[in-house]
Amino acid sequence: MCGISGIYRRTPSAPAPDRDELARIHAALAPRGPDGEGVWASPDGRLLLAHRRLSILDLSPAGAQPMSSADGRFTIVFNGEIYNFRDLAAELAGQGVPLRSRSDTEVLLELWRREGLRALARLRGMFALAIWDGLTSELVLARDPYGIKPLYYSLEGGQLRFASQARALEAGGGLSLEVDPAAVAGLLSWGAVPEPLSLRKSIRALPAGHWAKVTGDGSFVLETVPRIALDPAPADAAAALAASVRAHLVSDVPVGIFLSAGLDSALVAALAVRGAGGQGEPLTALTLTWAEARGTVADEEPLARATAAALGLRHVVREIDGGEVRSLMPKILDAMDLPSIDGFNTWLVARLAREEGLKVALSGLGGDELFGGYSSFRDVPLWRSLATRLRRLPGLAAAWPGLARRLAPETPKLASVLRYGASFAGAYALRRAVFLPHEVDQLLERAGLGDPGVRPYDAPFDSWLQMREAVLGDPTHLLRDPWRTVHLLESSLYLRHQLLRDSDWAGMAHGVEIRTPLVDSWLRAEMGSLNFEPARSKGKAAVVKEAAPELPEEVFSRPKSGFQMPIADWLENDAKRRRPSRVGAQSRRLALLVLEAFGVAIRLNDSRELNLRENRRHDGR
């Protein structure tokens, strides 16, 4: 895991890459790679590459980057991990290819030298990379199918600038930093900036599962990464899950586990212990809790302790409180790459991991998307069906908004289901909404941003289509399968734009690589070949129990409760509050607080003006 950056002169009229600008970009990425750094310039002076190293595989200098191929033609900077690199290395060795290191970077580079873009389809792992071809003067950027590793770029001024974080490009000082209203609208709508946007008009995210090529004449081409190449499907879901966790254990440094009271992290912990085979010291599990959660369903510690004891884990528990979070908030917001209402808890547990001497930690992130654990798997098809039926009854449709407000005052989103919920995408967007569309319009106006040009609710769901193409092919029956449709929506929107992105910046702020074995292209394609059984028919708990029967029974009977620290309450230092705000109210207040920290201030006359307190619950988060 690392931080990468570079500047490439695309056109003859553009200035040569500015070494001082690259140095500022490179410096902004320092927390991502505390173990080493390197800078490389192409012989023709058109390209500068930089790399920050977090040493996890091959800790020797032989694994340093930027790295050039044995013949000198290709040079790479690479952020991520290739979990099947040893199998690929053995294959290369069998072909007589000498390898100078034990790093996955060299394996990737040599595989690219032989197969080009086709090599990407053979990788099991997470990656964001840049590869320079000195013979053709072409630069290729690429990103893994789920976008676990971020990559941002800008094409301003006849140059291509890229970096692992958007704020690093901002720090370079060579770009205009005008706020993108569409990005703000996305944050207000869903709690995160949707790809390919960033907060700045000048910076874009390379979409997940895509590669971009800048040719010698300066043209810029964007295409999808070749589809993953799979071995035969496993016999069952349990085998696929065990194989994924085992693959994610590859490391030359100790691997820890983020452990909560939930099924996903417990499953990963059980399979990690099994995959480690009892070799070496017990794995370390890390758990966060907070005082307000004591004695409630939100208390993570009792079940986490039971799981750790059953599995023989070394268990470290850290309790936090509002005062500590308030004091740390400037550091958290400095680390946050794009505005988000999530990632705070991940930053805190990653800090604990680093304090315990860990560079790598496994997370159960992605389990709800994989196993259908969110209530959206029930609500989205239901809301879509309701909207479709209402449209067939003009009289009822006209009366619906008022009727819904009277019948379900605690769920104001239902009043908008007729307008937005007739498609899976629209029903999903409404279900996940932080602010409703008319509220987003009001807030943009108050921020002085006006019409964002593209309304988030009306925009095509390009990322959903990209995910379907990059990971699962293009089966037309998906649109007739509500479960798989919601799975794709959750995976390509909430998971990718918020959870994975926040996991990256929050972990790398402490030099901790967070691995997500349940977000794995091979695993998800294998589960798809099994039609996601038994999750669809038996439910999430049944899948986990079949895959990890050694877990304590009480883990399976706990009602679902998301890890929701009362961040907004703590930041506002609400001493009168006896219990944490509901999740919806927290999300709305956090969105405004975070935007203000990023320089986008939205002033309200009264906190009740947009239901920011819990007099009306805006559920769905």
| Six token digits for residue 215 | 């040719």
Alpha-carbon distance of 270 to 268, in angstroms, equals: 6
Alpha-carbon gap, residue 590 to 567, rounded angstroms: 8
CB 192 within 8 A of CB 498: yes
What is the residue-wise DSSP string for 516-549?
-TTS-HHHHHHHHHTTTTTHHHH-HHHHHHHH-T
pLDDT value, residue 583: 54
Q: Parallel, antiparallel, or unpaired for β 152-154 and 67-68?
A: unpaired
d(CA 193, CA 432): 13
Q: Are 487 and 374 in contact (CB under 8 A)?
A: no
Single out the residue of 173, 133, 134, 130 nearest to residue 152, CA to CA.
130
Give the residues across from 37 on adjacent strands: 52
Eight-class DSSP state of 255: E
Burial of 606 (0-12, 13-18, 19+ CB in 10 A): exposed
d(CA 136, CA 190): 42
Rounded to an integer, what distance in angstroms lies between the CA atom of residue 74 and that of residue 298? 51
Residues across the chain: 621
pLDDT of res. 462: 44
- 182 in Cβ contact with 454 (< 8 Å): yes
Q: Mind giving me the DSSP string for 92-135?
A: HHHTT---SSS-HHHHHHHHHHHHGGGGGGG--EEEEEEEEETT
* 76 SS3 class: strand
**What is the reported pTM?**
0.92
Task: In the chain, list all ranges with CATH 3.60.20.10.
Answer: 2-224
The pLDDT value recorded for residue 33 is: 95
pLDDT of residue 429: 84
pLDDT for res 428: 87
CATH code 3.40.50.620 region(s) in the chain = 237-321+355-368+499-557
Choices 3.60.20.10, 3.40.50.720, 3.90.1170.50, 3.40.50.1980: CATH for 2-224: 3.60.20.10
For 237-321+355-368+499-557, CATH gives 3.40.50.620
Note the pLDDT of residue 609: 62
Specify the pLDDT at position 539: 86
Which stretches in the chain have pLDDT values below 50? 457-478, 575-580, 613-621
The answer to whether 46 and 215 have CB atoms below 8 angstroms apart is: no
